């Protein structure tokens, strides 16, 4: 089986959307499960480096590091607090953002669909003004029209987003990749979780072209603007400026929310992350958990769920 992250989830969706879609009522474009934040949790860190939240019970502390959903590759940040807390940690839990794809059955079919591009080039279906914008962006990214050989706007938009992020040296693997390495060096248990996309494939196949066009338009606008917003947000994250760090671009995350089955996936990852933190609190001592910032701080997000369970949650301003 293959292990994929959120970026690959939407790559897979791009391939799926090369297949015909079925008519249905489009999802609302402004549906965003992480759109509303719990303001009292959005607090600037007092210690050097990125901001930490703490979840505690009588004999255990879980240090929660909120991380960007996308950031520059190999970005620099002050690791002094992290390395101090890594010493003696019971476990390190990485963000729950991976999915698994089996090489047979329905997932195998999806991977085959990923290789099929038909009905393109996509730009031939655009109005003249949007086509000119798209051609300018793909040319800057070093891609020709055949590279976007699909009739589906979601497939084209996701491919464009991948190309833009690759060209801009952006990733959703850092800083988790570095944290995994440092924890393994100290022989600390590392927990990751992946999800089977099989149950969601039917919904993905039924995602209407109108929803895909919402995603395409957002990606095109961001690719035109360039990575400046993401770079600024990453710098803010590195110094504990939580509110500025939350200004990061979120095209993938918003698109995932409006795709059929996306809300179910979002709900499950938040519930599982909260359960992982609650589980770590059962072992006396301390643990480290990494969670993407918006799912961490959103209404009905990870921290709000833990408070509802009776755990004490402290903000970066209470360090």
Averaged pLDDT for residues 69-89? 95
Q: List Cα–Cα distances, 30 to 25, 52, 116, 195, 212, in angstroms.
A: 15, 29, 30, 25, 13
Averaged pLDDT for residues 164-189? 94
Q: What is the pTM for the complete model shown? A: 0.85
Averaged pLDDT for residues 175-199? 89
Report whether pLDDT(14) > 50: no
Report whether pLDDT(192) > 50: yes
Better-predicted residue by pLDDT, 186 or 255: 186
Report whether pLDDT(257) > 90: no
Range of 111-120, 132-141, 204-213 with top mean pLDDT: 132-141
How far is the C-alpha of 317 from the C-alpha of 50, rounded, in Å?
12
**Band of the pLDDT at 302, cuts 50, 70, 90?**
very high
The pLDDT, as a whole number, for residue 66 is: 97
| Residue of 117, 127, 97 whose CA lies nearest to 213 | 127
| Residue of 234, 256, 241 whose CA lies nearest to 170 | 234
The pLDDT, as a whole number, for residue 288 is: 98
Averaged pLDDT for residues 188-205? 72
Lowest mean pLDDT among 25-34, 92-101, 189-198, 258-267: 25-34
The pLDDT, as a whole number, for residue 135 is: 98
Question: Hey, what are 183's tokens?
Answer: 């924890």
**Band of the pLDDT at 172, cuts 50, 70, 90?**
confident
The pLDDT, as a whole number, for residue 300 is: 95
Place of tokens 């992290």: 82
Question: Hey, what are 148's tokens?
Answer: 């976007």
**Band of the pLDDT at 201, cuts 50, 70, 90?**
low
How far is the C-alpha of 319 from the C-alpha of 314, rounded, in Å?
8
Report whether pLDDT(55) > 90: yes
pLDDT tens digit string along 97-136? 776 555 444 444 454 444 435 677 999 999 999 999 999 9
The pLDDT, as a whole number, for residue 33 is: 83
Angle at 123 between CA 121 and CA 129, to 5 degrees: 170
| Residue of 127, 28, 51 whose CA lies nearest to 318 | 51
């Amino acid at each position: 089986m293959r292990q994929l992250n959120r970026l690959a989830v939407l790559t897979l969706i791009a391939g799926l959307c090369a297949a015909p879609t079925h008519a249905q009522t489009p999802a609302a474009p402004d549906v965003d499960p992480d759109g509303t934040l719990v303001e009292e949790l959005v607090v600037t860190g007092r210690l050097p480096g990125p901001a930490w939240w703490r979840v505690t019970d009588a004999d255990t502390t879980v240090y929660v590091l909120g991380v960007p959903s996308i950031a520059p590759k190999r970005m620099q940040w002050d690791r002094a607090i992290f390395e101090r807390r890594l010493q003696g940690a019971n476990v390190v839990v990485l963000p729950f953002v991976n999915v698994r794809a089996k090489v047979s059955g329905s997932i195998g079919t999806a991977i085959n669909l990923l290789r099929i591009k038909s009905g393109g080039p996509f730009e031939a279906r655009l109005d003249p003004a949007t086509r000119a914008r798209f051609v300018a962006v793909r040319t800057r990214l070093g891609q020709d029209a055949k590279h976007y050989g699909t009739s589906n706007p979601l497939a084209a938009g996701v491919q464009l987003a991948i190309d833009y992020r690759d060209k801009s040296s952006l990733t959703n693997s850092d800083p988790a990749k570095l944290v995994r390495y440092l924890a393994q060096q100290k022989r600390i248990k590392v927990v990751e979780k992946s999800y089977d996309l099989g149950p969601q494939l039917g919904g993905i196949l039924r995602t209407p072209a109108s929803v895909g066009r919402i995603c395409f338009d957002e990606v095109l606008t961001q690719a035109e603007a360039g990575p400046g917003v993401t770079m600024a947000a990453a710098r803010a994250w590195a110094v504990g400026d939580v509110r500025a760090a939350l200004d990061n671009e979120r095209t993938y995350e918003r698109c995932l929310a409006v795709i059929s089955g996306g809300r179910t996936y979002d709900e499950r990852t938040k519930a599982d992350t909260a359960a992982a933190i609650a589980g770590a609190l059962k072992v006396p001592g301390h643990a480290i958990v990494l969670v993407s910032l918006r799912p961490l701080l959103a209404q009905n997000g990870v921290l709000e769920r833990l408070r509802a369970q009776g755990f004490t949650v402290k903000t970066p301003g209470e360090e």
